[in-house]
Amino acid sequence: MAARDAPERTIKSGLEIRSFKDGNGKILPVKGERNVLITSALPYVNNAPHLGNIIGSTLSADVYARYSRIRNRPTLYACGTDEYGTTTETKAMADGVTPQQLCDRYHQIHKTSYEWFQISFDVFGRTTTPQQTEICQDAFKKLYNNGLLEKQSMQQLYCNTDKRFLADRFVEGTCPKCGYSDARGDQCDSCTNQLDPFELIKPRCKLCGNAPEEKHSDHLFIKLGEMQKDLTVWIDEAIKTGIWSNNAIALTKGWLDQGLKPRCLTRDLSWGVPVPLPGWEGKVMYVWFDAPFGYPSITATYTDEWKRWWQDPDNVELYQFMGKDNVPFHTIMFPAFQIGSGDNWTKLNSLSTTEYLNYMDVKFSKSRGVGVFGENAKDTGVSASVWRYYLLMNRPETSDTTFTWSDFINRNNGELLGNLGNFVNRAHKFVNAKYDSVIPDPASISSDVDQHQDALDEDLQRDADALISSYIEDMERIKMRAALDSIMRLSSRGNLYLQTSVLGNDLFANQPARCARVVSNALNLTYALSAMIEPFMPATTEAILTQLNAPARSLPTSFDRGLLAGHKILPAAHLFKPIDIKMEAIWRAQYGGDSSATVEETPKESKRAAKLKAKAKQSAQSASEQSTLVGPKSPEIIRLETDIVAQGTKVREAKAAANKDTAPELQSKVQEELSQLLKLKQDLAELVLQTSQLQVTNAIE
């Protein structure tokens, strides 16, 4: 579009979002400003992130980071993959690759998943860097020099078969507290209690399955008991002045009430940060020592001036986001390392933690093909905005929540499409049609004052101000579900305003000044909503701004009017698409949806699961049968039919292999191949339907 043809913009001044990047393009703290440093728990690189991981840490942190930016605060969001430790070494052995190869692979998987979910990291790094080694070793030596580390000769489990000491995660057995049969040597995933490998009932080596024996090995322990008084003072002050989730407070207090004991900071491993002390060669740091230092080390890969963020507590506020199982390591262990080092570290101010998000009342399980993982969301064809909205509306802030496909579909079709999408589209299309896409000026039109109608405007102003205020208050308290609810309530209020104002041809013809005021208010409410929505659904905000022909704006503190008379908007377009309810059965079959299943269920398909898959196939088939092609098949249809035949062969071969061997990976292979077959059939059904409809339309024309 030529410059002379560009749509005219008439925008109120003072709404800009400030940039805090320096001459090198880096975001640094600014004296006199509220500087916000945000981290989300570093994800392990031993698997792809599932929806529970994403909402528990990275997505929640992203929402607050985006909110902080539109409040014009210098904000840095740092995260990355946690790559050292037993977990990585265990997974690498299972996959037949080196730990570095595993890290390279899963770092990219995580990075790609988060990019699709539009997580706005300022830096997304990894812990296998020179900066990580330097920062960790510096802190470790300072703890040692300050007399806070002590040598202990400890009993450790040793596997004679593999000829190695077994770190905690290389030991499995039955939890002594809840009876879970697959508890790890450091923690039980069922009851979340921290464990010692010697507590396990019938311990076994994770590598070979044989029973290990006890041997002695020298290690360095941090004297947490000597630090409990200082830690308690700091924790009490942080809880008082910051914002901590209730479960974070309870878990932290629980550790303190039990009394802190020395904690081992070294491991007999090869994959980790080497212990930097003479006589301790061959040992590495405990992963929960080096992992928290990943936050500053990743920041150090972003800027050489990383200490301005991480060693200036008087000018920087640290917000951290994570699932509840990571709490003690961030509220006790990491602060102990920071305090014990003697450096002036920026320590935790506010901590937002979540409970668990379950999938259809069971746990996510990659090996069993149960649940949606990062890479799966994109495959559904549903936009990232809808996924973000659903996860945040279902965020397990105070108790466990459950992902269900029916709820996912209903929220899209009812709340996003029927409420928000309807409001934004209705007034926008009216201005396109009646005002040549230019926001009218009520003052330039002959007065047609109606006290009742003026009262509608006053009510809208009052209610919008209250909802915007509630939104800000909830966001400041990191109550994201409540804040998102305020957005939807404000959109509903906009729909009510258009309804009670009776926006339509009669209002346009008989009360032109009033009609101009209604559409101006509606479009300005849309502009205000665009800022409020941005932390939750950034792509939706971008779509709104494109249609409004307006720049991104800072967050309003009340219902202001940033779009002035004479501003020209662009054509309206739908923000959301409806989801066919038939997709519930198809997605349940693809990603596991048998609510009667449990994590202990055998890998073989249950009868109910088999029926569910049959139902999914029938849904796809019926969609295809509803349309009959009246002409020749397109090359795309022929290709899909060929692919379905080939994929059917793969499914049969996978099932035959699984029948001969019950290994979990073979059972998982069946699920993968079957999911691909169902997706191909779904694609064919949709293509046949679209083609037949087009043929009918062409025939009529």
Whether the CB-CB separation of 298 and 80 falls below 8 Å is answered with yes
Question: Is 684 a domain residue?
Answer: yes
DSSP assignment string, 284-297: EE-HHHHTTTHHHH
Helices (H), 117-260: 130-145, 224-241, 246-258
Mark which of 539, 568, 597 sits at the end of a domain: 568
Question: Do 536 and 422 reside in the same domain of the chain?
Answer: yes
pLDDT at site 51: 95
pLDDT at site 642: 62
Whether the CB-CB separation of 478 and 243 falls below 8 Å is answered with yes
Question: Do 497 and 645 reside in the same domain of the chain?
Answer: no
Strand partners, 222: 149, 263
Average pLDDT over residues 529-549: 98
Question: Do 239 and 113 reside in the same domain of the chain?
Answer: yes
Question: Do 49 and 129 reside in the same domain of the chain?
Answer: yes
Q: Could you read off the pLDDT of 87-122 as tens digits, one per residue?
A: 888 788 888 999 999 999 999 999 999 999 999 999
pLDDT at site 629: 41
Question: Is 53 a domain residue?
Answer: yes
CA dihedral angle for residue 681, residue 684, residue 688, residue 694, rounded to 10 degrees: 140
Which residues lie closer than 8 Å to 576 by C-beta, 6 or more apart? 383, 385, 386, 412, 416, 417, 420, 421, 540
Question: Is 563 a domain residue?
Answer: yes
Strands 35-40 and 75-81: parallel
Question: Do 99 and 241 reside in the same domain of the chain?
Answer: yes
Lowest-pLDDT range of 363-377, 440-454, 625-639: 625-639
Question: Do 338 and 482 reside in the same domain of the chain?
Answer: no
Whether the CB-CB separation of 220 and 230 falls below 8 Å is answered with no
Q: Could you read off the pLDDT of 223-245 as tens digits, one per residue?
A: 999 999 999 999 999 999 999 99
Give me 215's structure tokens: 């041997």
pLDDT of 368 over the 80 cut: no
How would you write 614-634 as a 3-class SS string?
A: HHHHHHHHHHHHCCCCCCCCC
Question: Is 123 a domain residue?
Answer: yes
Mark which of 354, 378, 399 sits at the end of a domain: 354
pLDDT at site 479: 98
**CATH number of domain containing 644:** 1.20.58
**Domain with 131 in it:** 35-143+229-247+290-354
Question: Is 83 a domain residue?
Answer: yes
Question: Do 346 and 473 reside in the same domain of the chain?
Answer: no
- The CB-side HSE value for 221 (13 A sphere, CA atoms) comes to 17
Rounded to whole angstroms, the Cα distance separating 132 from 118 reads 26
Question: Is 593 a domain residue?
Answer: no
519-543 core/surface letters (b: 16 or more CB in 10 A; e: else): bbbbbbbbbbbbbbbbbbbbbbbbb
> pLDDT > 70: what percent of the chain?
86
More confident residue, 123 or 191: 123
Q: Could you read off the pLDDT of 271-314 as tens digits, one per residue?
A: 999 999 999 998 999 999 999 999 999 999 999 999 999 999 99
Phi-psi category of residue 437: left, alpha or beta, with phi > 0 → left and psi -120 to 50 → alpha: left
pLDDT of 632 over the 50 cut: no
Whether the CB-CB separation of 238 and 318 falls below 8 Å is answered with no
Rounded to whole angstroms, the Cα distance separating 351 from 327 reads 9
CA dihedral angle for residue 207, residue 211, residue 215, residue 220, rounded to 10 degrees: 50
Give me 155's structure tokens: 């009993």
Average pLDDT over residues 675-697: 65
**Smallest Cα–Cα separation from 317: which of 287, 276, 346?**
346
Question: Do 344 and 423 reside in the same domain of the chain?
Answer: no
Rounded to whole angstroms, the Cα distance separating 346 from 36 reads 11
Question: What contacts 24+ positions apart, CB below 8 Å, involve 109-115?
Answer: 109/48, 109/374, 109/375, 110/43, 110/45, 110/48, 110/49, 110/81, 110/374, 112/374, 112/375, 113/48, 113/49, 113/54, 113/373, 113/374, 113/375, 114/49, 114/54, 114/58, 114/374
H/E segment holding residue 609: helix 607-625
Number of folded domains that form the chain: 3
More confident residue, 688 or 259: 259
pLDDT of 4 over the 50 cut: no
Angle (CA) 674-103-193 rounded to 5° is 80
pLDDT of 457 over the 90 cut: yes
Question: Is 583 a domain residue?
Answer: no
Question: Do 536 and 671 reside in the same domain of the chain?
Answer: no
Question: Is 375 a domain residue?
Answer: no
- Band of residue 375 on the pLDDT scale cut at 50, 70, 90: confident
> pLDDT > 90: what percent of the chain?
70
Three-state DSSP at 504 gives coil
Question: Do 109 and 234 reside in the same domain of the chain?
Answer: yes
Mark which of 550, 568, 586 sits at the end of a domain: 568
**CATH number of domain containing 241:** 3.40.50.620
Rounded to whole angstroms, the Cα distance separating 591 from 695 reads 34
Question: Do 335 and 427 reside in the same domain of the chain?
Answer: no
Mean pLDDT of the chain: 88
**CATH number of domain containing 515:** 1.10.730.10
H/E segment holding residue 672: helix 664-700
Q: Could you read off the pLDDT of 572-619 as tens digits, one per residue?
A: 999 999 999 999 999 998 898 654 333 333 333 344 444 444 544 444
**Smallest Cα–Cα separation from 366: which of 28, 701, 51, 40?**
51
Three-state DSSP at 326 gives helix
